[in-house]
Amino acid sequence: MNTRDLRYLVAVAERAHFGRAAQDCNVSQPTLSTQIRKLEEYLGTTLFERNAKSVSLTPAGHDVVKRARHILAEVDGLMTAARVSHGPLTGILNLGIIPTLAPYFLPWFIPLTKLRYPRLQLVVHED
């Protein structure tokens, strides 16, 4: 069991649909379904009632999802605390910009950003 599996579990619980949950998690539906099955086998219990048209949580599933949400919140908090300890604006920042604005904005923005935040990795997407 890992946090990715718990994120898949919560996504299926929130969407009540394996296909939409898979889209939210950026994986294929068979991959997500397989991981949920493995999680159920690992825990030794069925988490979802499945039929041709719907997916719903079992009573055990409700409890596991509640705990998974708590665990994921703690993990996310831990990651945030670790990032903050590096200082402001560290890590990767994806910036999307339209082509008509890019030649006017980026020449002054990128050098200023690198000067003020040397540990920031700026990734620019022009589209």
pLDDT at 85: 67
pLDDT at 92: 82
Global model pTM greater than 0.75: no
Provide long-range contacts, Cβ within 8 A and 24+ apart, for 114-122.
Answer: 117/88, 117/89, 117/90, 119/86, 119/87, 119/89, 119/90, 119/91, 120/89, 120/90, 120/91, 120/93, 121/91, 121/92, 121/93, 122/93, 122/95
CA nearest 55: which of 73, 37, 31, 28?
A: 37
Residues lower than pLDDT 50 in the chain: none
